[in-house]
Amino acid sequence: MSRVVLRRPLLAHLTGCSFLAQVERSSAPLARLGSRCRSFSRSMYANAELTIPPPPALLQPLVVPKKLLLGPGPSNISTRVQEAGGKQIIGHMHVEMFEIMDTIKAGIQYAFQTTNNMTLAISGSGHAAMEAALVNVVEPGDVVLIGIHGVWGERAADIAERIGGDVRRFVKPPGEMFTLQEIEQALVQHKPILFFITHGESSSGVVQEMDGIGPLCHKHNCLLLVDSVASLGGVPLYMDKQDIDILYSGSQKVLNCPPGTAPLSFNDKACQKIFNRRKKPTSLYLDMSWLSNIWGCDGSPRKYHHTTPITGLFALREALAILAEQGLEEYWKLHQENAEYLHKGIEDLGLKLFVKDKAIRLPTVTTIAVPEGYEWKDITDFIMNKYQIEITGGLGPTIGKVLRIGLMGINCTKANADLVLRALKDALAQCKKSKH
């Protein structure tokens, strides 16, 4: 600096202390020092010039097209849920946030039909809930039986293997479900500590009958883990009555909530396995000893673990409130009726449903056998480009074999079924058929 400014009262006081004389003697060296600092600063900045300019796209307004999401998820969200997710955030450790989390817990207990204390929402998608369930229960060397009748069993097997579990794959062709007899035979053969099965297999369009599986697992000293990501809210499911030990879902399908908050629940038997492990879970982020605390499940004062997705939880709270207001039984009835309406319309177009057995067709996600002579992507692209409607092709073992249509939550209406049927009819008329 080259100049010193003093306020007048202070100046008068300092004059008598001969301070000004010292300032005058030091000002010249200070000026020279200031000049050298500015020169060094300019030199430093010159050597650290920005090499990456601001991305041009970020200097433009955000534009998101309006699309009707009638695929296997995510689904469109209601204005009410959008508004909840758009509220100003509060602290993730504020008492008001804990109250909202407590309400979410109660909403998940209702949706799952469980009284389990260890009920919460994972900060992540349904995949995160799947991994949280497996990483907390499975230890290296544990025998894990994975029921595979689509892509989600394969994902569970992959995760369990990464943990070090002794994975035994139990496979059915896509479009079929497991029988109690087959399950018991596999339990007797493999003697697993955990059996995984998907309730709503969205890659194939199958809903697995759950009655009787829980008691079978317990008869053979095995825990039952169920994936209900594509079925929760759209298909009857009773965690406690059906003796399900661990159940998880996602927020972005029937609940019509943005992805990123995944309901998960463990009963007392599962908790005994979790909290009597030989070693800590390999994931700190998904460790239930931490998550049970932040969600108020362990009776202890809540401690910081991670910053929860605050606005995502606002949205999940509102989505669960809508489910509670409408009522689970009404939602189940709505999805079944509109799925049957869609199925009839598909068959009237001359198309074939991929799942032959009507009793095991998943109401939330319908699979259509790709019509002979057509490329599935030509059909989905045509419908997206002309109608701005999303339907998708297969996933995992059904790639190239099916088209998938989802009617979930607020999207589950006869009007939407009519709209997608009209788009399908148009696509079949306009898309070129192959010569083979």
Binding-site residues for substrate, in ranges, read: 404
Compute the distance between CA of residue 422 and CA of residue 70 in angstroms, rounded to an integer.
Answer: 13
Count the neighbouring beta carbons within 10 Å of the beta carbon of residue 399: 12
Closest to 282 in 3D by CA, of 144, 165, 124: 165
Structure tokens given for 300: 């202890």
Phi-psi domain of 118 (left: phi exceeds 0; alpha: psi -120 through 50; beta: other)? beta
SS (H, E, C) the chain: CCCCCCCHHHHHHHHCCCHHHHHHHHHHHHHHHHHHHHHHHHHHHHCCCCCCCCCHHHHCCCCCCCCEECCCCCCCCCHHHHHHHCCCCCCCCCHHHHHHHHHHHHHHHHHHCCCCCEEEEEECCHHHHHHHHHHHHCCCCCEEEEEECCHHHHHHHHHHHHHCCEEEEEECCCCCCCCHHHHHHHHHHHCCCEEEEECEECCCCEECCCCCHHHHHHHCCCEEEEECCCCCCCCCCCCCCCCCCEEECCCCCCCCCCCCEEEEEECHHHHHHHCCCCCCCCCCCCCHHHHHHHCCCCCCCCCCCCCCCHHHHHHHHHHHHHHHHHCHHHHHHHHHHHHHHHHHHHHHCCCCECCCCHHHECCCEEEEECCCCCCHHHHHHHHHHHHCEECEECCHHHCCCEEEEECCHHHCCHHHHHHHHHHHHHHHHHCCCCCC
Return the residue matching tokens 């600063």: 41
Count the neighbouring beta carbons within 10 Å of the beta carbon of residue 416: 20
Structure tokens given for 435: 């010569």
Compute the distance between CA of residue 366 and CA of residue 272 in angstroms, rounded to an integer.
Answer: 38
Which residues sit in the known binding site?
404
Compute the distance between CA of residue 25 and CA of residue 48 in angstroms, rounded to an integer.
Answer: 36
